[in-house]
Amino acid sequence: MPDLKTVVAEIAAEMKERPDRGEVAKYIPELARVDPNAFGIAVIDAEGKVFTGGDADTPFSIQSVSKVFTLTLALGKVGDRLWRRVGKEPSGSPFNSIVQLEREQGVPRNPFINAGALAVTDVILSGHQPREALGEILRFMQFLADDVSISIDHGIAGSEQRWGFRNAALANYMRSFGNLENPVDFTLGVYFHHCAIAMSCIQLATAGRFLAHGGRNPTTGHSVVSLDRARRINALMLTCGHYDGSGEFAYRVGLPGKSGVGGGILAIVPDKASIAVWAPGLDAAGNSHLGRIALEILTRRMGWSIF
Active site residues: 64, 67, 191, 243, 261
Is 226 marked as binding a ligand? no
Handedness of CA 91, 186, 34, 45 (dihedral sign): negative
Phi, psi of 237 (to 5 degrees): -65, -40
For ligand DON, which residue has the nearest CB?
64
Phi, psi of 70 (to 5 degrees): -70, -35
By CB under 6 A, residue 95 contacts ligand DON: yes
By CB under 6 A, residue 97 contacts ligand DON: no
By CB under 6 A, residue 142 contacts ligand DON: no
Distance between CA 2 and CA 18 in Å, rounded? 23
By CB under 6 A, residue 241 contacts ligand DON: no
Q: What is the DSSP string of 128-157?
A: S-HHHHHHHHHHHHHHHHT-TT-EE-HHHH
For ligand DON, the closer CB: 106 or 116: 116
By CB under 6 A, residue 96 contacts ligand DON: yes
Distance between CA 213 and CA 268 in Å, rounded? 9
* 3-state SS, residue 278: strand
CB of 228 to ligand DON, least distance (A): 27
Does residue 44 contact residue 271 with C-beta atoms inside 8 Å?
A: no
Choose which of 52, 64, 161, 182 interacts with ligand DON (CB under 6 A).
64
By CB under 6 A, residue 287 contacts ligand DON: yes
Is 64 marked as binding a ligand? yes
Choose which of 212, 261, 279, 293 interacts with ligand DON (CB under 6 A).
261
Interacting residues toward ligand DON by CB under 6 A: 63-64, 95-96, 114, 160, 167, 195, 259-261, 286-287
